[in-house]
Structure 1
Amino acid sequence: MKYAPGSKQILITIEKNNDEAKVSVTDKGQGIAANKIPHLFDRYFRIDNPGSQYSGLGLGLYISGEIIRKHKGQIGVDSELGKGSTFWFTLPL
């Protein structure tokens, strides 16, 4: 919600796929450029948006990714500029 203030709906989905659970959070915000996606879960990586009012250290997604991987899961994002983003993670059941 913080990064998609114009998005009127946030969709949270939980699915069971074989022996894992998948949790997804989808917004209809501004989306993320394709060249930035491979770096989103790197330590200290931040997307520079001119005029952005949000500050941070670039550690939130990195820490989330480390926790998910330690639990033998995966984490990722699907996004398209102008159409929004879906952040997701899987965990073994």
Structure 2
Amino acid sequence: MSDNGIGIPKNKHDEIFETFKQADSSTSKQYGGTGLGLALVKQYVEMHGGNIWLESEEGVGSTFTFTIPSNPDSQ
């Protein structure tokens, strides 16, 4: 999935996959959310033997990519 939004600073790339973490954790942030979505997606992908990662540039946007094996029982 890709967007052309605000992007995510490099120093926040790992952190945004943690529960209740967001790139902007200030009380005056412009965008809402609880910080659960990406943590849940990561957990689901990893439960199925996959990986998730992102590529992002501030002011340009973000691309989230994941892989899930087609036959996870063969691992």
TM-score by length of structure 1 reads 0.66
Higher strand share: 1
Provide the identity percentage: 40
Moved over 6 A (4+): none
Candidates 40, 53, 62, aligned match of 2:16 = 40
Q: Which residue does the alignment assign to 1:89?
A: 66
| 1:38 CA displacement | 1.4
Does 1 or 2 have the higher relative contact order (CA < 8 Å, sep 6+)? Answer: 2
Residue 73 of structure 2 aligns with which residue? none
**One-letter code aligned to 1:41:** F
Cα distance change of structure 1 residues 66 and 85 upon mapping to structure 2, 3 Å threshold: same
Structure 1 unaligned segments of length 5 or more: list them. 1-24
CA RMSD in angstroms comes to 1.5
For structure 2, which runs of at least 5 residues remain unmatched after alignment? 71-75
**2:39 — aligned with what?**
62
More helix by share: 2
